[in-house]
Every structure is written in structure tokens, then in C-alpha cells.
């Protein structure tokens, strides 16, 4: 099968491209800078450029779409152009080129309302309740993708939750840097149970969805390790793996949410060079439970995670040493 993977220069996209190539497929990657994944061919371009998208998709049988603007803050027009416009153009191009399979890589945030998630599955994406521009535009994009599901184009959405592992410059790097500089508090009691996903497991689940899309198309699936742990324990595990001291101070959850709202207001007027230190969405994620029922995911994808959280943390520690 000839497969296009968009967004392969990122941690997850690169792992997905490598997993699909290792399964024996002919993989082409599409992103703005070289991904250089062994066994794949790079095509450079942006999902906001329809001509480039057409050229990348020509002659392929399937596409795994990961390219997105991922940030806690930023210009809403950029989120709209990349996450919504890029997905819309990709779907149009896929139809024009006779592509048969589309795996849309989404996020559980598309159905998150700010309340605790306790053992739920993949509720429908809802842009009206999604928190922040990333979640909102990904919700719109997921709905566009699933609406395109048909006899000629089979579509499935996969939502990996809080992906982390060695080489992660987003979640892990930010946790470690803030812990190192004493800017990482525990919100609330730290007892809220959260699911996360080790990078190898997220990649293998998406690769499994590609293989199974003809049988399960039209559906969404949340992917996690299936090992919910208290958020304070998970943060401490990542910090210890990196050789830094875990958080030692607490901030009440309601205070963090209020502070996050204030930071967002300031960021809209005077954005900083890095991610904002706190947002309402981030405060909610760090202080409320969010773990998911994995039975449908594992049954339909015919997949189980191969790397436990403890093994993942051990691998992370090796990478830092």
C-alpha cells in the first residue's frame, strides 16, 4: 500500500511513518521541513497549499493526517487555516486522486468540556464546548473528516491522549524545564487520575487503525496506555526520569483556572515567545480526572499497547542519561 503521512517531522508523526514503513508499506511523508525517517521519502510542503497537497497525494492509496497547529495559544486564524482548511483541502484532494483510506489523527480534547472524564469512550467531537482554539479547530476538522466517510473513501479518527516519550520537546520537555526552574506546581491535591500514552503505543495504534480502516470506518477511537495514574505521580515519574526534583508546592485548582484565564487575556494582547505558563484548559487538564474506556479501541483496532508506563519511564530515564 502506498501511504502518505502528513506531519512526520513531529515526534508522533515520525513514529507513525516509521511504524507503517516497517510493516512493509511504501511511505511518503509530507511536512514543511525534512522528516528523514528511514524507509520513507520526504515531500516538502504545507497542508495550506492545495497544489502541494495534490502533488503529495498523487498515486497514493491511503493517507494518515497528523499535520496540525498544536499550541495552547495563538492567532485563531492560523488554527483555522491549518487545522480546518488543511483538513478540508486534504479531503478534497484525496477524493480527486481516488485515495481509499484516511486516518485522521485527532485529540480527546475535541470532546472535552472541562469536567472530569471517568471511563468514557470517544464522545462526539463538539466545537461548541471544546476548550481553546486548538481543540475547537480539531473538533471541526474531525467532523469534516468523518462526514467524508463513504463507500469510496473510508475514514476513521484516532485520538491519542497525552503522548510522551524520549525526544518529546513538548509535554516532557516543558514539564522538566518548569520543574528544574521551580515553576511546576501540583494543582489541587494531585490525586486526579489521568491517562497518558507512550509514544510507541500511540504510533502502533494509528498504524493498526490504517490496517483496520475498511472494517471500522466512520468511527472515532481514544487511544491510551490504559493505565490511569494520579497526575502528581505521573509528573513525579517524568521528573525523576529526567533527574529533576518533582513539584513540591501546590496551587488550588480554582486559583489555577482563574490565573489561566488571566494569562490568556494578556497573551491575546501581548503574546510571548513561548507557550503561556498557564491557561484554563491546562489548569483543567492538570486538576481533573480524564481516563478512558479502552475496550472498544482494543477490540476494533485489534491492538494492545506493548510498552507499559513503567517501561516507558525507564526508557525516558535512559534517554536523559
Q: What is the number of other CB atoms lying within 10 angstroms of the CB of residue 81?
A: 16
| Alpha-carbon gap, residue 291 to 27, rounded angstroms | 33
Angle of helix 86-96 relative to helix 133-147, nearest 10 degrees, comes to 20
Residue at grid coordinates 490568556: 264
Beta strand pairing status for 117-120 and 197-198? unpaired
Give the H or E element holding residue 223.
strand 220-223
Catalytic: 134? yes
Residue 233's Cα: distance from chain center in Å? 22
| Alpha-carbon gap, residue 103 to 158, rounded angstroms | 7
Q: In 3D, which of 185, 175, 159, 203 has the Cα closest to residue 256?
A: 185
| Alpha-carbon gap, residue 141 to 125, rounded angstroms | 9
Q: Mind telling me the catalytic residues?
A: 134
Amino acid at each position: 500500500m502506498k501511504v502518505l503521512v502528513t506531519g512526520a517531522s513531529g515526534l508522533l508523526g515520525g513514529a507513525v511513518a516509521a511504524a507503517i514503513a516497517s510493516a512493509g508499506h511504501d511511505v511518503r511523508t509530507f511536512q514543511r521541513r525534512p522528516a528523514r525517517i528511514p524507509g520513507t521519502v520526504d515531500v516538502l510542503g504545507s497542508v495550506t497549499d492545495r497544489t502541494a497537497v495534490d502533488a503529495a497525494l498523487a498515486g497514493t492509496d491511503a493517507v494518515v493526517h497528523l499535520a496540525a497547529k498544536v499550541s495552547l495559544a495563538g492567532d485563531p486564524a492560523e488554527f483555522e487555516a491549518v487545522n480546518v482548511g488543511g483538513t478540508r483541502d486534504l479531503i478534497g484532494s484525496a477524493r480527486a486522486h481516488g485515495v481509499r483510506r484516511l486516518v485522521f489523527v485527532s485529540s480527546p480534547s475535541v470532546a472535552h468540556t472541562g469536567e472530569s472524564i471517568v471511563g468514557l469512550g470517544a464522545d462526539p467531537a463538539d466545537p461548541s464546548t471544546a476548550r481553546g482554539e486548538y481543540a475547537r479547530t480539531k473538533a471541526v476538522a474531525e467532523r469534516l473528516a468523518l462526514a467524508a466517510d463513504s463507500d469510496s473513501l473510508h475514514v476513521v479518527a484516532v485520538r491519542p491522549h497525552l503522548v510522551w516519550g524520549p525526544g518529546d520537546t513538548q509535554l516532557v520537555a516543558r514539564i522538566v524545564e518548569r520543574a528544574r526552574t521551580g515553576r511546576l506546581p501540583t494543582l489541587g491535591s494531585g490525586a486526579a487520575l489521568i491517562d497518558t500514552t507512550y509514544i510507541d503505543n500511540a504510533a502502533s495504534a494509528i498504524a493498526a487503525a490504517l490496517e483496520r480502516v475498511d472494517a471500522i470506518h466512520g468511527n472515532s477511537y481514544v487511544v491510551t496506555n490504559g493505565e490511569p495514574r494520579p497526575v502528581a505521580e505521573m509528573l513525579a515519574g517524568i521528573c525523576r526520569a529526567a533527574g529533576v526534583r518533582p513539584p513540591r508546592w501546590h496551587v488550588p485548582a480554582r486559583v489555577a483556572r482563574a490565573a489561566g484565564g488571566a494569562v490568556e487575556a494578556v497573551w491575546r494582547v501581548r503574546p510571548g515567545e513561548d507557550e503561556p505558563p498557564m491557561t484554563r484548559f491546562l489548569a483543567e487538564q492538570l486538576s481533573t480526572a480524564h481516563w478512558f474506556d479502552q475496550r472498544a479501541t482494543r477490540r476494533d483496532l485489534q491492538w494492545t499497547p506493548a510498552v507499559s508506563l513503567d517501561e516507558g519511564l525507564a526508557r525516558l530515564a535512559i534517554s536523559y542519561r
